[in-house]
Amino acid sequence: MRLEKRLMIDSFTSQRVRNAPFVLKAGENILTFDRKTLRKFGLNPSRKLVGKTFVVALKSRKIKYHRDVPPRLLSDLKDDDVLIRGIEKKETHLKEYSLIRPGQDKVEYRAFFSTPSLISSYSELPCPFYELNLEITEDEYKKLKRLPKDTAMQVDFSLG
């Protein structure tokens, strides 16, 4: 399965953290990069990225999965892999007491992905580290629900 979303970059910060000097934020999505990873995706670490459209592409791939082993210990996970943390369908009924528009139903679909890690609250995050909260379509929701447990999503980024 392939999933592609366009996001607007809200902020770009440079930190003085040894392993994770650059953080991009796009809505509720937080992407932490080192210089090497930014170059790999053809991105220049600069505040000029703010306001640009960022394309996030996710492609499913099968991994070795063992229920008792934490995901980061599995040798076939790569730096650019994220795991599906959750898939959500939220239904809302909006009541309007009007003759012109009775009630409306609203359905929202979201998918949550993040870099697998074995961090405690006192250890540093792995780098790169991705936390994605994406709005998806009903069709994408159904496809993600059908993916087996032994699936990781390989992530790719570009400016679009």
**What residues contact 99, with CB distance under 8 A and at least 6 apart?**
none
Confidence (pTM): 0.83
| pLDDT score at 100 | 61
Q: In total, how many domains does the chain have? A: 1
* Residue 129 belongs to a domain: yes
The predicted structure's pLDDT at residue 126:
76
Mean pLDDT of 25-34: 92
The answer to whether residue 8 sits within a structural domain is: yes
Q: Could you tell me if residue 36 is inside a domain?
A: yes
**DSSP H or E segment with residue 13:** strand 11-14
Q: Is 99 within a domain?
A: no
- Whether 61 maps to a domain, the answer reads yes
10, 26 Cβ separation under 8 angstroms: yes
* 3 state DSSP class of 35: helix
Type of residue at 35: R
The predicted-structure confidence for 92-147, as pLDDT tens digits, reads as follows 877 666 556 666 778 999 999 998 876 555 556 678 899 999 999 999 999 999 99
